[in-house]
Amino acid sequence: MPYRYILLESLRQLRNVRALAFTFVIPLVMLLIFGSLYGSSGQQEQRSGLPWLIVTTVQMASYGGMLAALSQAFAITTERSIGWNRQLRITPLSGVGYLVSKVAAALLVALCTIIVLCAVSIVVLGARMDALHWFTAILGIWIGVIPFALIAVALGQYARPSFAQPLFTVVFLGMAILGGLWIPLEVMPTRVISIAQTVPSYWLNKLGQIGANGAGNALLPIVILAAWTVALAALIAWRYRRDAARA
Amino acid sequence: MARDGAPVEAWAMTAPAIQLTALSKNFGSVHAVVDVDLQIHRGEVVALLGPNGAGKSTTIDLALGLSHPTTGTAHLFGDDPRAAIVDGRVGAMLQGGALLPDLTVAQTVALVASAHRAPLPVDEALERAGIRDLAARRVSKLSGGQLQRARFAVAVVSDPELLILDEPTAAMDVESRRDFWLSMRQFTAEGRTVVFATHYLDEADFFADRIVILGAGRVVADGTPGEVKSVVSGRTIRFEVDSGETDAAAAVIPHLPGIRSLDRRADRFTLVTDDSDRTLRALLDAVPTARDIEITAHTMDDAFLALTTKAPLPRPTKAAHLTKAV
């Protein structure tokens, strides 16, 4: 694996402030609004016993992490359309190495977003939890973001630049709403709740909540997210082989 | 491929930089490259000429393994093209290969360098491209010529033995083109191999040891610049004759010495001759009223047109072909 390239490429995406501002501002504003709305009175969620502020923080960190990972799709479509990939093909970097670098970049950008959102919640909104639970919550969300890094790569492979934006919007809106990242699913009709349990964003949030709680069965979310990961990797590999065969 | 029992490794050490064997590429019903055999030895500087659509870029893609041939094989240094690229032995400036607009020149070169196994220091790659002063400039702020040089820096960062350049001086002004070829001279002085596709025939004439001309996907000429130009050797003589004497002149002119072809438009004659001195002396004797006489030597452009206007051609030494081109 070309580790040096992957490292430089991930840092490059992290430095790309303009794209980050876009993915970061929306969850930040939502965190500040919902956090002060639900958090000030110190209510607790009934089932998990977690303070609402923590529940909201995990939701928004999940949302921010997901958005950051998904936005790597634009980097891929842009690079494909301007011909940067063609330039990279005259280097030892393989197609697989390129895709791995994009997944790594998506995960790094997502991790930074998750950490910053949690930090804002602590500093600005006064969210309190012991360090271990912050750590497991962040870890849980980060693991949950893995399928979204792969969705970003798949979007980048499949979408033409003109089509990337609408496709991205549909995917992230659907994932955010169905996964209960914006509005608690409890207010939704039961049919929506059963659909929600098939999308990875639901389990991403769930894994974060389990991490924050320090208790609960993490096996089911991990199995379902792993299944998504394998399915997406297969889709990406299939497309990659088809593109290579067409050259 | 091993010759007369020579060990395979020894052959690989001396294998040609580029070996294309019976190479063809079809895109649907379009025959982009047709049965190309081409061997380019180490240390050669080869210009690839041809009109648009002649198959230059496709041939380059095939040689680099970026595209799979329909039939035939491509080898670089006796090996699979990809293996040569992975070894960092090949650098290329390709058509449609662009740099990222939001990076600086130095960041771009560093990013590509990080993908190579034993790259040059970034500074040295910039130095070789003559753009050290542009290191901190964003790619989006570069002029056309500067961008091409940044792409050259990217192409040489692996310290390659073989450089493949597809129209490297496109979008350059006259001065940048000259500077570019000067830095190329430095590169080839160290015995490296360069293959470049170009539209500028004077560049090929001035810089290449060998010119390969493609027409309709085939190799239509392959030789030194001198040899290629000699395909249309000789000079052109143009003159006019007074209207009253045109027919008399037309009767005599075909019998002048050295003439290879003749073209007449009203009062204006165009002759192609192998010996312009002798032809001209005889002409002045036979047609004393000839006036506005012009003699021009054939240029690379003439050779190019002669070779590519009606490809595939047999070696076009017959006057019949030349009349078309002159």
CA A108 from centroid of its chain's CA atoms: 10
Asked if A9 is an interface residue toward chain B (Cβ–Cβ < 8 A), one would say yes
Residue A25: in which H helix or E strand, if any? helix A17-39
Residue B12 has pLDDT above 70, yes or no: no
Residue B141 has pLDDT above 70, yes or no: yes
Residue among A77, A90, A242, A246 with most chain B CBs within 10 A, to mutate: A90
- Which residues from B are below 8 Å from A4, CB to CB? 114-115
Count other Cβ atoms within 10 Å, centred on residue B178: 12
Average pLDDT of chain B to the nearest whole number: 84
Which pLDDT value is given to residue B317? 37
Which pLDDT value is given to residue A39? 63
SS3 at position A216: coil
Type of residue found at B192 = R
Residues B212-232 have a mean pLDDT of 84
- Separation between Cα atoms, residue A205 and residue B268, nearest integer Å: 87
Residue B316 has pLDDT above 50, yes or no: no
- Residues of chain B contacting A, Cβ within 8 Å: 64, 66-68, 85-88, 90-92, 94, 96-103, 107, 110-112, 114-117, 151, 154-155, 158
ipTM of the complex: 0.85
Measure B151 CA to nearest chain A CA, in Å: 9
Domains B8-229 and B231-325 share a fold: no
State the DSSP string of A65-83: HHHHHHTHHHHHHHHHHHT
The dihedrals phi and psi of B93, each to the nearest 5 degrees, come to: -110, 115
Encode pLDDT of A155-182 as tens digits.
998 888 788 888 888 998 899 988 888 8
Which pLDDT value is given to residue B233? 65
Tell which wins on pLDDT, B255 or A226: A226
> Where residue B310 falls among pLDDT bands split at 50, 70, 90?
low
Residue B11 has pLDDT above 80, yes or no: no
CB A54 within 8 A of CB A141: no
- Which A positions 22-51 lie with beta carbon below 8 A of chain B? none
Residue among B66, B116, B139, B161 with most chain A CBs within 10 A, to mutate: B116
Q: For residue B194, what are the contacts with CB-CB under 8 A and spacing of at least 6?
A: B44, B45, B46, B162, B163, B164, B165, B184, B187, B188
Which pLDDT value is given to residue B5? 46
- Which residues from B are below 8 Å from A2, CB to CB? 114-115
Q: Quickly tell me which residue has 């012009």 as its tokens.
A: B294
Which pLDDT value is given to residue B111? 94
Q: Quickly tell me which residue has 């072909």 as its tokens.
A: B321
Residue in A83, A92, A97 nearest the CB of B116: A92
May I ask the CATH class of domain B8-229?
Answer: alpha beta
Tell which wins on pLDDT, B190 or B211: B211
SS3 at position B40: strand
Encode pLDDT of A186-195 as tens digits.
788 888 888 8
CA A179 from centroid of its chain's CA atoms: 12
Asked if A17 is an interface residue toward chain B (Cβ–Cβ < 8 A), one would say no
Q: For residue A156, what are the contacts with CB-CB under 8 A and spacing of at least 6?
A: A72, A73, A74, A75, A76, A77, A80, A102, A164
* DSSP state, residue B120: P
- Separation between Cα atoms, residue B176 and residue B154, nearest integer Å: 18
> Where residue A3 falls among pLDDT bands split at 50, 70, 90?
confident
Which pLDDT value is given to residue B321? 35
Measure B150 CA to nearest chain A CA, in Å: 12
CB B208 within 8 A of CB B47: yes
Sheet containing B218-223: order of strands = B90-93, B162-166, B193-197, B45-49, B210-215, B218-223
Tell which wins on pLDDT, B261 or B135: B135
Encode pLDDT of A120-153 as tens digits.
999 998 888 999 999 999 999 999 999 999 999 9
Residue B311 has pLDDT above 60, yes or no: no
A86/B107 touch (CB, cutoff 8 Å), yes or no = no
Measure B306 CA to nearest chain A CA, in Å: 33
Kindly state the percentage of chain B with pLDDT values over 90: 41
Domain B231-325 has CATH 3.40.50.1820: no
Q: Quickly tell me which residue has 């390969």 as its tokens.
A: B212
Tell which wins on pLDDT, B312 or B237: B237
CA–CA distance from A100 to each of A5, A146, B86, B100 (Å)? 10, 12, 18, 19
Which pLDDT value is given to residue B63? 95
Residue B205 has pLDDT above 70, yes or no: yes
A79/B92 touch (CB, cutoff 8 Å), yes or no = no
Which pLDDT value is given to residue B6? 46
SS3 at position B92: strand
CA–CA distance from B88 to each of A161, B120, B130, B189 (Å)? 31, 11, 21, 19
Which pLDDT value is given to residue B164? 95
Residues A20-28 have a mean pLDDT of 82
Residue among B66, B114, B142, B167 with most chain A CBs within 10 A, to mutate: B114
Q: For residue B115, what are the contacts with CB-CB under 8 A and spacing of at least 6?
A: A2, A4, A5, A88, A91, A92, A93, A97
